[in-house]
Amino acid sequence: MRDKVSIIIPVYNSEDSINRCVNSMEENTYENYEIILIEDCSSDRSFETCKKLERKYDNIVCIQNSMNRGVSYTRNQGLKKASGKYLMFVDSDDWVEKDYVETFVNTIIKEQTNLVISGYVNHDEVQNGRTDIFGFPDIDTSRKIDYKECLEKLYEDRLIQILWNKIFLMDIVKENEIYFDETISIGEDFRFVLKYIEKMKQPEIILLNRPLYHYMRDNPNSLMSAAKLANIDEILVNLRMMKELLGEKKEDIEAELIQEREQQVQLYAYFIYRNSVYTKQEKKELLQQLDPKRWKELYRRNRELVMKEKISGIVRRR
């Protein structure tokens, strides 16, 4: 029998999507894998739905946190339960291709590497209904490459910061006690990946051009929840870790972090202003939390930017 793959799926208020997610996993062509559903005390019927799935499929185990603890704690509980040789993560709102597991396992075995990264499909059901493919357009099928040669590009293309487009070796995770940092609320996935890369036994990784994962952005408040809770310092900690992995000089890193901090402030200010859930006063309060000294400037700048976007949209429709 082929080696077991452990697939960890944290579940929170996913009553409407968890069936689609798990069913796409159960349609996979790879046979030896376990699905670990960890339910984080949802306010809907997610736990009951997960228990039904556990009874339906013999390769599913469902556990529930004693209280709502957040996604990092939830994934860590899954890691403690996992028993496979390989490790993968899936989010409960999403779904995967039928050869998702098979392709990752075949590649990591064939190439004798520690990490495989694929492209993914982004379904934006919130802003515009668009579907975008993130991947490696300059690669025909796959490429083996030293992570130092591609890490920054993967970061820019939003392919390294996420978990679900990768397969990991469980031995590296367990031997080095790589867990999710439960003290942070943003960037915890990226930090896990960086810790893993730091402990890899070899520097080469495999890039797969196939978009094997379907990310569903269908929560209208997801970006703003992140913005409201955003700790820019934690984002910069991750960026520093990445730069140090690449062996950059200390003074160069400090200069880049200053620039990145400004970009993050501008990004979150834009998200805050564009969110229709918040009142004008709530937007101002969030911007004050983001940057107490410049919040008025950020408010005015984004008000003008959003107005230009609306005018541009009206002109295009004509």
Rg (the chain; Cα; Å): 21
2: confidence class by pLDDT, cuts 50, 70, 90: very high
Reference 188, options 214, 162, 152, 149; nearest CA is 162
222: confidence class by pLDDT, cuts 50, 70, 90: very low
In three-state secondary structure terms, 75 is helix
- The whole-number pLDDT of residue 232 equals 83
The whole-model pTM stands at 0.87
Contact 95, 24 (CB under 8 A): yes
Q: ∠133-164-79 over CA atoms, to 5°?
A: 175
Q: Does 53 have pLDDT greater than 60?
A: yes
Q: What pLDDT digit, counting tens, does each position of 179-193 carry?
A: 999 998 889 999 999
Residue 265 to residues 6, 64, 101, 223, 259: CA-CA distances in angstroms?
37, 36, 38, 14, 10
Cα separation of 127 and 315, whole Å?
19
- The whole-number pLDDT of residue 124 equals 76
225: confidence class by pLDDT, cuts 50, 70, 90: very low
- The whole-number pLDDT of residue 277 equals 83
Q: With pLDDT > 90 as the criterion, what percentage of the chain qualifies?
A: 75
Mean pLDDT of 80-102: 97
Q: What pLDDT digit, counting tens, does each position of 104-160 carry?
A: 999 999 999 999 999 999 987 655 567 888 888 888 889 999 999 999 999 999 999
φ, ψ dihedrals at 201, nearest 5°: -80, -15
- The whole-number pLDDT of residue 275 equals 83
- Which residue segments constitute the domains of the chain, with CATH numbers given? 5-217 (3.90.550.10), 222-317 (no CATH)
- The whole-number pLDDT of residue 227 equals 47
Q: Please give the distance of CA 132 from its chain centroid, rounded to a whole number.
A: 16
How many Å from the N-terminal Cα to the C-terminal Cα in the chain? 62
Going through the chain in order, the beta strands assigned E by DSSP cover: 5-11, 33-39, 60-64, 86-89, 95-96, 115-124, 131-134, 142-146, 166-169, 204-217
Cα separation of 37 and 35, whole Å?
6
Contact 240, 257 (CB under 8 A): yes
Cross-strand bridge partners of residue 64 = 39
